[in-house]
Amino acid sequence: MNKRIKIIISFGIFALFIALSLFAFNSLRANINPQISIQNHLSQKEKATDFTVIDSEGKEIKLSDMEGMPVVLNFWASWCPPCKSEMPEFESAYKELGGEIQFMMVDLVDGSRETIEKGSAYISEQGFEFPVYFDTSSEAAIAYGITAIPTTIFIDADGYVIADFQGSIDKNTLNAGIDMIK
């Protein structure tokens, strides 16, 4: 076979492979319901791991201080676009349910890319009113094995982890998680 024909055939096979891959990806993505993506994989209830963070005034707050009310625990950073995209949903839920559910919006502070000042400025600029806490020692992130943000964990009033979700959360998914801990 001519070298040129081999190249054309190789290119055609590669293009067909890409087209089939895109088709398969889009078909699978269309079948994913974000509400079902909430992970409730625990066969037994697991007590939420306690940790200490600080609030905007520098006061230490523990997760266990929230026991007695359901908690929506969210890990985020101001440089994270998916985190930013979900913040309005959390704000809306906080305004509606803040008296019934504790919202712990934990900013993962590393001291360089994310600082307390950067996180606070972002929250202030956006006009968000939900409570923000700062994980300056990575204690909370380590306690929950956070490897990607945003991550949201739903904890019931007795202090047990009921479900978690990794990635940006939409209104329906947030409400489904909240319904599980009410």
pLDDT tens digits, one per residue of 119-141: 999 999 999 999 999 999 999 99
Confidence of residue 29 (pLDDT cuts 50, 70, 90): very low
Q: What Å distances lie between residue 78 and 7, 51, 93, 152, 169, CA to CA? A: 47, 21, 19, 16, 16
Q: How does the average pLDDT of the chain come out, rounded?
A: 87
Write out pLDDT tens, residues 84-115: 999 999 999 999 998 899 999 999 999 999 99
Output the pTM of the full model.
Answer: 0.78
Helix (H, G, I), strand (E, B) or coil at 40: coil
Q: Measure the N-to-C terminal CA separation of the chain; round to a whole number of Å.
A: 69
